[in-house]
Copies of this chain bind each other. A is one copy, B any other.
Amino acid sequence: MLITVMKFGGTSVADPEKIQRAAERAIAQRRRGDAVVVVVSAPGEMTDELIALAERVTPKPDDRELDQLVSTGEQVGIALFAMACRARGAPAVSLTGPQAGIDAVGAYGRAQIRRIRTRVIMKHLKAGRIVVLAGFQGLHPSGDTTTLGRGGSDLTAVAVASALKTGRCEIFSDVKGVYTADPRIVHDARKLPRISFEEMLELAGAGAQVMQARSMEVAERFGVEIHVRSAFRPAAGTLIVAREDLMLEKAFVSSLALDKSEVRLSVVGVPDQPGVAAQVLTALAADDIPVDMIIQSAPSQAGVNDISFMTPKGHAVKAKKALESVAKKLGAERVDLHDQVAKVSAVGTGFRHSPKIAATMFSALAKHKINIHMISASDLRVSCVVDLQNGETALRALHKAYGLGKGRR
């Protein structure tokens, strides 16, 4: 029995009409002869609406009860989806995480899938039914329903594909695939037929939120290819595959990302002593502040230097506070926050062996008189922080400089 796992995100099942279209996709796949498992998210904004409702009851809802509440969103999604299938004559059954045998452990609100007991799913598949699974949830050992945290429906789809040994998982959403750059900014951006998990993870880190990082890591580990595609158009999207499946003979840039969601923080005038950077980062880690592009500048004056990094806007205030406290202890001069910045990144493969890729970025930006505030580079990514107002110009300039436009490769 060939099994296809299809995951539909919240925007793909946002209203009854979209649910019907998604159901038709699943039925078409079933009629081609495959057994079909559909993983469904909560329709549209339902999860956020339920959280808002909870916050009207109490500003700090209990985690266990929040899971009891929020998990109804996916339950609504699967019931409506299964109804739509059945109304079109296709046998279908909806299953919540607990009903489907998805066992989860760990803290409420961010549990991990421990195992999937596939007996119930297989029974329904063998009976010819489309199995419609609630994403984002599982059965806690206590008997409670728990949720898996952000991106959890993708994770459910990947874990189910792995448990059913399908080798692939189709992720339907409102994006058509992975592009060489954001097509809303770069008019000749191209959809990539394939990309590696590593590059996707770097793209996620560079601010391109196609898929949640944790699900990609799990997919790679368990050998599940991911097909990211549009819920509203029939065309194929982008296949995310393991690195060894891609031609690696030369360094190349796959895709660019522009991230305007971060701020730059600097501790200025830090004594140039061992252990200082560690103290700064420990303070940030203690407050769960995500950090990207940590850079310690070469001392501009004798015995002092600056430590800078990027962090999401939502963490800026907390981060500044933590830094000011550590700056005082270290005898640093001050803490600077720059919020008019953008991070532009090139993601690809083999960068370490090809300084040309970084060089191309710097010269393209220079040609457009775009000043670079920070640089970081790895084997898979080169990122530059520039003024916010130059972000889109930078993206377009780099897309051209790397020859990523339609028909160029």
Contact = CB atoms under 8 A, between A and B. Distances in A.
Contact of A69 (B62, B76, B93, B99): B76
Interface string A83-98: 1101100000110100
B75 A58 contact: no
Interface stretch (A2-10, A48-56, A268-276): A48-56
A60 B75 CA distance: 19
A96 B72 CA distance: 11
Contact of A79 (B20, B66, B78, B99): B66
A65 B53 contact: no
A72 B62 contact: no
A293 B36 CA distance: 54
Contact of A16 (B53, B62, B83, B120): B53
A87 B69 contact: no
A68 interface: yes
A56 B68 CA distance: 26
Contact of A80 (B57, B83, B120): B57
A390 to B, nearest CB: 46
Contacts of A120: 143
A19 interface: yes
Nearest to A23: B57
Contacts of A53: 16, 76, 80
Interface residues of A, number: 37
Contacts of A50: 76
The number of times this chain is found in the oligomer is 2
A57 B64 CA distance: 31
A84 B69 contact: no
A380 interface: no
Contacts of A60: 87
Q: Which of A75, A79, A143 has the most CB of B within 10 A?
A: A79
A144 interface: yes
A177 B82 CA distance: 42
A86 B62 contact: yes
22 contacts: A15-B56, A16-B56, A16-B57, A50-B76, A53-B80, A57-B83, A57-B84, A57-B87, A58-B87, A60-B87, A62-B82, A62-B83, A65-B82, A65-B83, A65-B86, A68-B78, A68-B96, A69-B80, A69-B83, A72-B75, A72-B79, A99-B144
B72 A76 contact: yes
A65 B129 CA distance: 14
Contacts of A96: 68
A61 interface: yes
A64 B198 CA distance: 43
Given A57-B20, A76-B50, A76-B69, A99 B143 contact: yes
Contacts of A78: 68
A143 B83 CA distance: 18
A19 B99 CA distance: 29
A22 to B, nearest CB: 11
Contacts of A143: 99, 120
Contact of A83 (B15, B19, B66): B66
